[in-house]
Chains A and B, each alone.
Chain A
């Protein structure tokens, strides 16, 4: 005989029930046949001899009814009724099977059935949409790949490769006439033609040499006046004229040059010159001494009045 009250007395309040999950506000029942999921006197499947639930398996809903006469055989205790896929028909089926059962259980079964059908519909909808596929990453493999990538980056020497490629394209003439580098075009002409061009180029080279040998004085007067005031810059007189020429040339190009990674010999030369000239402050060489202005320096000396000493 099943004494429901006795069972409930024991498991519900005083002693232990293994299906009970207690939280601060409420207790839940983990029993799979529980209809509401809460731990109540009326929802406990163990403490009610007349009990029914709805459960679903693989999208199919079943009505489970407890046959208390078989309480001694728990495996055969629950009777299963397959419900139709049509919602209304299934509700009728529930009514039909639980015809003389208490109102509470009938109501709760229908509620549960409604909820289940709703979530089944949702599942079907979601599977039609795009599903995100999660691909597991292996930590070892990721680390390995990262390392390989770093090594490959070092081996690639990207900047050099790009520069080489660009220069090759320039040589091959893909850029056409945009860049006029006279000596380069000169070399090209060399490659194309034969001995006649060699003699011609000799003449032209000598022409270049002539220009290099001659000294040209370009805008030096302005610079010298400003330098007169700074004794330190006396050394820079000869050097500065060359520097200024080159600076003017460089300023013609883009200002972005400051950022370019390149080892231009011209810049190194100017840097070297500035370094050398800035270091040599003290000893002035003979020819550089020409344009020094004559400055008179007056020295003042203070003599302490004798009266103060006497006082102390």
Chain B
């Protein structure tokens, strides 16, 4: 008697399904199942019951439904989350998924048949949605013909470089007491960037280093910050009053950790490839990277340094290329690889307290949408 009442109660809560009698059978079995599980004997029996249950259900539905499909059909107001029993809910969910998959397959087959039938007249294939496709349009995207941007770039801090007045000279240093990995990384960076000098930090303040660098003719200051024996941050400072960019470094791979790598990079100046720097901010960062390298790359060296921006991550790679023929090129990775993520861009040279920040990454404001990128 008691169980009957319980069952009735269950029924009222399950008012959305159209098949009450069937539910009762289901519940009986599920109750038995749960009880047996509690007693911990029921492994075999539960399995048996489970296999029975869908069969039972199918038969009953088939006998009732008008559909000719062998699968189950769900009434439109059915939602899986209403079932309180976890196992049953799971079973129903699996069935729902199978149904959906079948429907999708059928639609695809239909579409394919239609396309074949139409032949040339078929409508063009739909392009799948990617994050790059769906990217929220950034207002600061640079138009190649924009005069204002061109003017700005002609008169900003890099104009000296782009007008071929100066040659880059880079000073690479680290934070205090670097570990071997950071030191090796700095050395490899020095091979990849022409005219780069590595100096140890020894507790000096950056603000004091900067005037000395300027006096010795350096154009760039590159500081690799280290945390837990691994480089994790980079401060790139363009020296005569240039902008300072602070990046987060990740996935550093030194040369000996790379598979199928080539020999050491030679002294030839590499070419530079900058990909996907579209917005104003991206443009300024791109120019920051471009000014690291001398103007005239030595094509004899056949080396290329790539800064590829994808979804606000800048991937750095260093390759040697060879043209097999006019349509094929082979590339072989040489130097270190790492990825950068811009954290902040400051207008003057490095000054963390009183500097004027052009752009700072604020997570709560800027990371709200998955389709919005800034570089």
Is the CB–CB distance between A158 and B330 below 8 Å?
Answer: no
A183 and B322 in contact (CB under 8 A), knowing A148-B313, A155-B310, A256-B332?
no
User: Does B256 touch A at the CB level, under 8 Å?
Assistant: no
Q: How far is the CA of A259 from the CA of B251 in the complex (A)?
A: 23
Q: A interface, by DSSP: helix, strand, loop or mixed?
A: helix
User: Does A99 touch B at the CB level, under 8 Å?
Assistant: no
By size class, the interface of chain B is: 35 or more
A209 CB to closest chain B CB (Å) equals: 19
Q: How far is the CA of A301 from the CA of B327 in the complex (A)?
A: 65
B residues within 8 A CB of A158?
306, 308, 315, 317
User: Does A145 touch B at the CB level, under 8 Å?
Assistant: yes
Q: How far is the CA of A158 from the CA of B271 in the complex (A)?
A: 16
A residues within 8 A CB of B320?
256
A residues within 8 A CB of B332?
256, 259-261
Partner of B260, one of A165, A171, A257, A259: A259
CB nearest to B323 among chain A residues: A179
B7 CB to closest chain A CB (Å) equals: 44
Is the CB–CB distance between A264 and B341 below 8 Å?
Answer: no
Q: Which of B273-293 contact A (CB under 8 A)?
A: 273, 275
A257 and B330 in contact (CB under 8 A), knowing A146-B250, A149-B339?
yes
Partner of A256, one of B308, B313, B322, B327: B322
Partner of B328, one of A155, A176, A183, A264: A264
Q: Which of A229-257 contact B (CB under 8 A)?
A: 253-254, 256-257
A264 and B324 in contact (CB under 8 A), knowing A130-B205, A145-B341, A167-B329?
yes
Per-position binary interface string of chain B over residues 314-349, scored 1 when its CB falls under 8 Å from any chain A CB and 0 otherwise: 010101111111111111100000010100000000
Q: How far is the CA of A155 from the CA of B320 in the complex (A)?
A: 22
CB nearest to A181 among chain B residues: B326
Is the CB–CB distance between A163 and B315 below 8 Å?
Answer: no
A167 and B330 in contact (CB under 8 A), knowing A152-B311, A158-B306?
no
User: Does B235 touch A at the CB level, under 8 Å?
Assistant: no
B-contacting residues of A (Cβ < 8 Å)?
Answer: 129-130, 141, 145-146, 148-149, 151-153, 155-156, 158-159, 161-163, 165-167, 169-171, 175-176, 178-179, 181, 183-184, 187, 253-254, 256-257, 259-262, 264
A-contacting residues of B (Cβ < 8 Å)?
Answer: 130-132, 203, 205, 250-251, 260, 262, 271, 273, 275, 299-300, 304, 306, 308, 310-313, 315, 317, 319-332, 339, 341, 363
